[in-house]
Chains A and B, each alone.
Chain A
């Protein structure tokens, strides 16, 4: 493998790592968050005041 190919692969790998990290941390790519988001769409918040 030529030196330029190695540089391209490293840059590409770094780019993918940063992208994955960003998606995971900021958009919620992990299973727990995904499951939570699914529950959100299937839930109905009901507001109340603590009065009898």
Chain B
């Protein structure tokens, strides 16, 4: 979410109305949103869908980024594919995450049951250390935590998300329904800002490097070299184009979430999303859209 935080940073303070608030774990961010402390937040897509199913007054209005997730193993391990993960321990950010569904899908497509691996939930910032100490056999979360283990020399990429799930979605932008009703202009401005920032980042590697430097110290508290690595090795490791809400992308998540048992019943795209803001972004008309609607 580099361009997202960069845009929020430029539009906070002074006359800006947005105040980015950093968290380290998904359960905490979810609770802060449900309690009303956060009128808007980035959430894991299946978590947002499940919250809506439980009656939370929220709507998904946009995506945070695409791809930007990997499954990492220790460089000393002999794990080379999904079959080798049988009996191993895999850390994921949360059971209500697309990282979990990606692992589920990868195993399922090879005839392996999810019950043949041990899944543990872990905050993404803790994952590199867990892999380093071999407390777990594999880790999967959003960047830069996967690249951190690779850069520091003990992590090896088993799969990039795009290898298993093209156009992978990790986080979505969720807004409280009351805020959407009372201040639609705030939501529209935020979605337009994120869309144009993402489009700008996709215009060249120099833009990616600029945004990596801009947010590394201020918002991510990371070495700029790490974010430069994430945004360039390879350049499509994380993508910021086509962040509009596409029905078929979410229907795939629904199907996998139902199969994996993390959704208790069918959910409706028209119920848990508000596509007005996403559809009106300039980006929606300027990109062909790999997801389609």
CA–CA, A52 and B19, complex, Å: 18
Given contacts A52-B144, A52-B230, contact A46 B38 (CB under 8 A): yes
Query: Which residues of B have CB within 8 Å of A44?
Result: 17-19, 39-40, 179, 183, 186, 190
List which B46-102 residues lie within 8 A (CB) of chain A.
65, 68
How many residues on the A side are at the interface (Cβ–Cβ under 8 A)?
11
Q: Are B41 and A47 in contact (CB under 8 A)?
A: yes
Chain A residue with the shortest CB-CB distance to B4 = A48
Q: Is B219 an interface residue (CB 8 A)?
A: yes
Interface string of A4-44 (1 = CB under 8 A from B): 00000000000000000000000000000000000000111
Q: Enumerate chain A residues within 8 angstroms of B224, measured Cβ to Cβ.
A: none
CA distance A30 to B155 in the complex (A): 54
| A1 contacts partner chain B, Cβ-Cβ < 8 Å | no
Min CB distance A38 to B, Å, is: 12
Closest to B141 in A: A51
B68 proximity list for chain A (CB < 8 A): 51-52
Which of A43, A45, A46, A52 is close to B143, meaning CB atoms less than 8 Å apart? A52
| A48 vs chain B, min Cβ distance (A) | 5
Residues of B at under 8 Å CB distance from A?
1-2, 4-5, 8, 17-26, 29, 32-33, 37-42, 65, 68, 124-125, 141-145, 170-171, 179, 183, 186, 190, 219-222, 227, 230-231, 238
Nearest 7 pairs between A and B by C-beta?
Answer: A51-B142, A47-B41, A47-B38, A52-B143, A50-B220, A46-B40, A47-B29
Q: A44-B40, A47-B29, A52-B227 are in contact. List 17 more A-B contacts (CB 8 A).
A: A44-B17, A44-B18, A44-B179, A44-B190, A45-B38, A46-B190, A47-B21, A47-B23, A47-B38, A47-B41, A48-B8, A48-B21, A48-B219, A50-B221, A50-B222, A51-B141, A51-B145
